[in-house]
């Protein structure tokens, strides 16, 4: 079992992937369960690859996804905390 960084919307505990199966080269169906025994919520989820953010260094000619737009690429980058917001928090 692996823990994916998803949170139960009911109790805010981590979700665990109980099992998963590949449906297509770009699609995987997973069955998740809340790690809180008191909650125990379970759900079916789909993980789909939809856009290429950067090209592979070892491209497979049969793999074709649309290239991500600049907006999608920007949204995929981690957000850096600015020094000013940290300083403001320390001053409070």
Contact 4, 46 (CB under 8 A): no
Domain count across the chain? 1
With bands split at pLDDT 50, 70 and 90, how would you rate the model's confidence at 3? very low
Asked if residue 32 is part of any domain, the answer here is yes
Predicted pLDDT at 91: 47
Asked if residue 8 is part of any domain, the answer here is yes
Asked if residue 19 is part of any domain, the answer here is yes
Contact 34, 20 (CB under 8 A): no
- Give the pLDDT confidence of 22-80 residue by residue, as tens digits: 999 999 999 999 999 999 999 999 999 999 999 999 999 999 999 999 999 999 888 77
Asked if residue 81 is part of any domain, the answer here is no
Spatial separation of the C-alpha atoms in residues 92 and 73, rounded to whole Å = 34
Residue 39 has which token pair? 């909650």
Asked if residue 56 is part of any domain, the answer here is no
The full DSSP string for 28-43 is: EEEEEEES-TTT--EE
Asked if residue 61 is part of any domain, the answer here is no
Would you say residue 85 has pLDDT above 70?
no
In which domain, by residue range, is 1 found? 1-49
């Amino acid at each position: 079992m692996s823990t994916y960084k998803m949170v139960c919307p009911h109790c805010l505990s981590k979700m665990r992937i109980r099992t998963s199966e590949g449906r297509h080269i770009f699609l995987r169906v997973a069955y998740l369960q809340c790690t809180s025994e008191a909650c125990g919520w379970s759900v079916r989820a789909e993980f789909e690859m939809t856009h290429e953010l950067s090209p592979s260094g070892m491209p497979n000619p049969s793999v074709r996804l649309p290239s991500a737009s600049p907006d999608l690429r920007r949204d995929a980058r981690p957000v850096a905390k600015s020094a000013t917001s940290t300083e403001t928090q320390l001053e409070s």
